[in-house]
Structure 1
Amino acid sequence: MKNHTKKEMNIWLALLPLVIMIVVMIFTVVKLEQGPHIPLIVGTSIAALVAWKVGFNWKEIEEMMYKGIRLALPAVVIIILVGSTIGAWMGGGIVATMIYYGLQIISPAWFLVTITLICAIVSLAIGSSWSTMGTIGVAGMGIGLSMGIPAGMVAGAVISGAYFGDKMSPLSDTTNLAAGLTGTDLFEHIKHMLWTTIPGLAIALGIYAYLGQRFAAASIETVEIGQTVQVLQESFIISPWLLLIPLAVIVLVAFKVPAIPALIVGIVLGYLAQVFVQGGSMAVAIEALQSGFTISTGNEMVDELFNRGGLDSMMYTVSMTIVAMTFGGILEFSGMLQSMMNQLLKIVKSAKSLIVSTIAACFMTNASCSEQYISIVVPSRMFSGAYRKMGLHSKNLSRSLEDGGTLTSVFIPWNTCGVFIFGTLGVSVVQYGPYAILNFAVPILGMIYAVTGFTITKLTEEEKAAAEVEETQALQSQEVLTPLEKSVSSHF
């Protein structure tokens, strides 16, 4: 793609597609109660017009959209496989077994705390929030709903736990990406994140403990939970041996088996469980993978919990991901996003404002480009020089990228993370947003630390000299488009 102009795009032109998209989104989703696809298409159309106005031709604009879609293709494959995993595990009785034993041993009053910690441990072990939510999270939703806990609360606790592990695990893609792009030692990066993430988790657990007390009167002997347990026993063969299937997937990912083959193993084992353990036919088991599992027990809550999954159930999610990435692709590759970032850099006068601006820029990128990985890649490229000039250690940048990028992605309904959560847990951002406490507590703590100077690390004189050399080398070999594509694609 040829460079049409070295002049920075006018900021008002750059903001126009984003502003129009958000206005149309609010009107369509809130007022008309419709999905976000059309507002994203409107935003894409306006972005294309702006790109055409500044000199790009239609072929180049198309290529921008395709580049955006290509960045999301690995995520699309995982979304599809998670849909089939849910269908297989529903039909195989795996989720039923997890819910059954969960109802036996978990106190309703402490359920939110417990599910947060379980998801945190699993995600820390495997380094993937998506895999955690697609397995443990689905079962957790069933247990929580069976106890009468609102779906938004349960989903918020699942998300907080899953993203704690994703952020802190040395196996996590985003953790390695943030450290690698900023030139920070991986474990130095993780240690620096402890200052914001551990207090964030403590705040979340404290609030979940408080919220859980309203359900203290509930117990597994209540009529509703007792009926759920009975229906599960009548509808599925419950066996602790079935728990080996999710354990196998967790172990595979923990041993650095990529997510896609690990999920395929889970699908195959779930399929075999439905045929040989639950006694279903091969055709019905295949249908569960494609269209989702179906059951009619006469218990409305159980039917609602288990009639789900399948590849087809994720097509809404896949289509929104593709549409969102066409919008994000034009914003990124036309220079609109860079123009927005440059405006932020112009108002940065101190280390305090630099770190706050970094967190804000990551959130803005999540909203505009609809992809968590881009929210780490683009701000890292835009702000790294400013951190060096202000004498700040790169781990301040890497932590801010995760605080503002990794965690806030769940609050954007059209971001791939928000879309995935809706498709997997069946809960919208509006419902779970107030309860995803870790995800908004950590960025707030990061900004408070920036303002107060607490835990902000400065470069030593030797490190400053080395940073100047690195900056010179970076300027000599700087690229604009291909590093983003390569960095994101290599970390899914």
Structure 2
Amino acid sequence: MKAKQQEIEIPFLLALVPLVVMITVMAITIIVFEGSPHVPLAVGAIVAAIIAWRFGYKWETIEEGAYKGIRLALPAILIIIVVGMIIASWIGGGIIATMIYYGLQIITPSLFLMTICIICGIVALAIGSSWSTMGTIGVAGMGIGISMGIPAAMVAGAVISGSYFGDKMSPLSDTTNLAAGITNTNLFEHIKHMLYTTVPGLIIALIVYFFLGRQFAGSAIDQGNIEAILAALDSNFLISPWLLLVPGAIIVLVAFKVPALPALIIGVFLGFMCQIFVQGGNVGDSVNTLHDGYAIVSGNEMVDELFNRGGIASMMFTVSLTIFAMVLGGILEQTGMLRAIVKQILKVAKTAGSLIAATIVSAFFTNATASEQYISILIPGRMYARAYQDQGLHSKNLSRALEDGGTLTSPFVPWNTCGVFILATLAVHPFAYAPYAVLNYTVPIIGIIMGLVGYKVQFLTKEEMDQLKTNQRRVDNENELVDGV
């Protein structure tokens, strides 16, 4: 039965139909109705199932493809849930407040663009969210920068570069966990591999901001917004440099190659204990924080927006979106539609470098068409997974390319959810801040160049290839048993 099913080939143009329908519905849903991407993904999955059924695929085969897609996402889903808990516990324990408190105090007028980029990077690294960083520290930075006579587009570009650097490199980030999970890459191996493209991009951005900022060196700075945030943090949390030992402990665990999930669970436990014994919370509130997120009414709107977040419940949007996307991806893969699409692309992308370049460009194209950065990671991630294996490339090459092309390019598309959010939050159009969001366009370029020249492109060892083939045979055998039933 399985052999006959695999012999059915769906033509390339028909294989594109589910994606075209999904992208069209996605654009209408997000841009016109300001809705979520879940329903468009479901519509795309339904169209894919109908086409596969019309070509002779049995419903059991289509259904198994959907389930297989979900199973592939389970490790990522589990880590995403734990990330929600660690964000909540670190906020409740005062750890994130301490990091922000000390970070804000390094602002200097002569180096404002560099400084706001670094601060946004620190905050986003701590909380794992570029949106929350831009919506709080970024808004404050816009007010301060504009009051110094710096053009709003420049300030917005520096805020975006820093926020996306921290988001991309944070083990708490949903997109970072998504890229690692969807490609079956160790989270910290993924982050380490991204250093080769992201750190040079940050250095280039900081150099640009240094030279741009020199013309504003004599401007005076209005410390009112910063002082208000510092006062709110000081009155609502016990701020202590000792709390920085918690993220330090996670760094040590990572250095000793402790797997991501246990390391993050230890981080949850430490944050939970800090909320009780350092911040003076009770056990009941601390337990509820892990599920519902931290709740605070500080009297400062920006502080409230930044710290009212986290918890298991806050991650259900991302979890459900991942499930819907993986159902679509699973059906497309099981019925050979992804294979038909990738086969056309691989006629051009025949080398490791061209495959990495194709991944980065595809992720950007998905951002521009599907209008959602999560989709720019999920769909290309499933499309190219087998091609990377066939060329003997380590999965962390794919996960890095997905982030370089997907996560970082989303702010440049005005109708993408990220572009819409930034326009509403920072009041600067994407076309205006695009030249100054230096990190966001240099990193994809660096990623493509490094791929084409073969620098820091990691190939699988013979042992890893043998293990991968063994695992693939086991999966194929399991699928044969399921189809036989």
TM norm structure 2? 0.70
Q: Distance in 1 between matches of 2:220 and 2:211?
A: 15
- Give the alignment partner of residue 385 of structure 2, picking from 355, 377, 386: 377
Q: 1:135/1:245 Cα in 2 relative to 1: closer, same or farther (>3 Å)? A: farther
Mapping for residues 446-457 of structure 1, pairs under 5 Å: 447=448, 455=453
Match of 2:174 in 1: none
Q: Give yes or no for contact 1:359–1:400 (8 Å, CA) kept in 2.
A: no
Letter of the 2:162 counterpart: A
Letter of the 2:256 counterpart: F
Q: Does 1:2 align with 2:2?
A: yes
Letter of the 1:160 counterpart: F
Letter of the 2:118 counterpart: T
Mapping for residues 92-491 of structure 1, pairs under 5 Å: 92-107=93-108, 108-115=112-119, 132=125, 134=127, 143-148=137-142, 154=159, 156-160=161-165, 163=168, 200-209=201-210, 217=219, 219=221, 222-347=223-348, 356-357=357-358, 359-360=360-361, 367=375, 370=378, 374=382, 377-381=385-389, 384=391, 401=398, 404-410=401-407, 437-438=438-439, 440-445=441-446, 447=448, 455=453, 482=475
Q: 1:58/1:449 Cα in 2 relative to 1: closer, same or farther (>3 Å)? A: same
**Equivalences, count:** 424
- Please identify, of 27-36 and 274-283, the stretch whose mean Cα deviation from structure 2 is larger: 274-283
Q: Distance in 2 between matches of 1:116 and 1:402?
A: 24
Q: 1:140/1:32 Cα in 2 relative to 1: closer, same or farther (>3 Å)? A: closer
Q: Distance in 2 between matches of 1:152 and 1:84?
A: 31
- Please identify, of 93-102 and 372-381, the stretch whose mean Cα deviation from structure 2 is larger: 372-381
Q: Distance in 2 between matches of 1:262 and 1:478?
A: 26
Q: Give yes or no for contact 1:140–1:158 (8 Å, CA) kept in 2.
A: yes
Shift of 1:13: 1.2
Q: Distance in 1 between matches of 2:351 and 2:93?
A: 57
Shift of 1:239: 0.9
Q: Distance in 2 between matches of 1:225 and 1:106?
A: 9
SS at structure 1 position matched to 2:7: coil
Q: Distance in 1 between matches of 2:417 and 2:263?
A: 22
SS at structure 1 position matched to 2:2: coil
Q: Give yes or no for contact 1:160–1:437 (8 Å, CA) kept in 2.
A: no
Shift of 1:66: 0.9
Q: Distance in 2 between matches of 1:256 and 1:270?
A: 21
SS at structure 1 position matched to 2:239: coil
Q: Give yes or no for contact 2:293–2:312 (8 Å, CA) kept in 1.
A: yes
Q: Give yes or no for contact 1:372–1:409 (8 Å, CA) kept in 2.
A: no
Q: Distance in 2 between matches of 1:165 and 1:88?
A: 16
Q: 1:376/1:17 Cα in 2 relative to 1: closer, same or farther (>3 Å)? A: closer
Q: Distance in 2 between matches of 1:140 and 1:236?
A: 19
Q: Distance in 2 between matches of 1:291 and 1:49?
A: 39
Q: Give yes or no for contact 1:99–1:143 (8 Å, CA) kept in 2.
A: no
Match of 1:32 in 2: 33
Q: 1:373/1:14 Cα in 2 relative to 1: closer, same or farther (>3 Å)? A: closer
Match of 2:23 in 1: 22
TM norm structure 1? 0.70
Q: Distance in 1 between matches of 2:36 and 2:73?
A: 20
Q: Give yes or no for contact 2:18–2:48 (8 Å, CA) kept in 1.
A: yes
Q: What CA deviation, in whole Å up to 9, does each residue of 1:186-230 have, x standing for no partner?
A: 9xx979x95x666544443344546777997575x6111111111
SS at structure 2 position matched to 1:407: helix
Q: Distance in 2 between matches of 1:113 and 1:234?
A: 26
Match of 2:80 in 1: 79
Q: Distance in 2 between matches of 1:85 and 1:214?
A: 41
Q: 1:346/1:117 Cα in 2 relative to 1: closer, same or farther (>3 Å)? A: same
Q: Give yes or no for contact 2:113–2:213 (8 Å, CA) kept in 1.
A: yes
Q: Give yes or no for contact 1:84–1:310 (8 Å, CA) kept in 2.
A: yes
Shift of 1:117: 7.4
Q: Give yes or no for contact 2:291–2:311 (8 Å, CA) kept in 1.
A: yes
RMSD over equivalenced CA pairs, Å: 4.8
SS at structure 2 position matched to 1:331: helix
Q: Distance in 1 between matches of 2:430 and 2:262?
A: 32
Q: Distance in 1 between matches of 2:307 and 2:242?
A: 20
Match of 1:63 in 2: 64
Q: 1:145/1:77 Cα in 2 relative to 1: closer, same or farther (>3 Å)? A: farther
Q: Distance in 1 between matches of 2:128 and 2:351?
A: 44
Shift of 1:379: 2.5
Q: What CA deviation, in whole Å up to 9, does each residue of 1:47-105 have, x standing for no partner?
A: 11122122221111111111111111111111111111111111111111111111122
Q: Give yes or no for contact 1:83–1:309 (8 Å, CA) kept in 2.
A: yes
Q: Distance in 1 between matches of 2:24 and 2:317?
A: 22
Q: Distance in 2 between matches of 1:332 and 1:427?
A: 38
Letter of the 1:332 counterpart: E
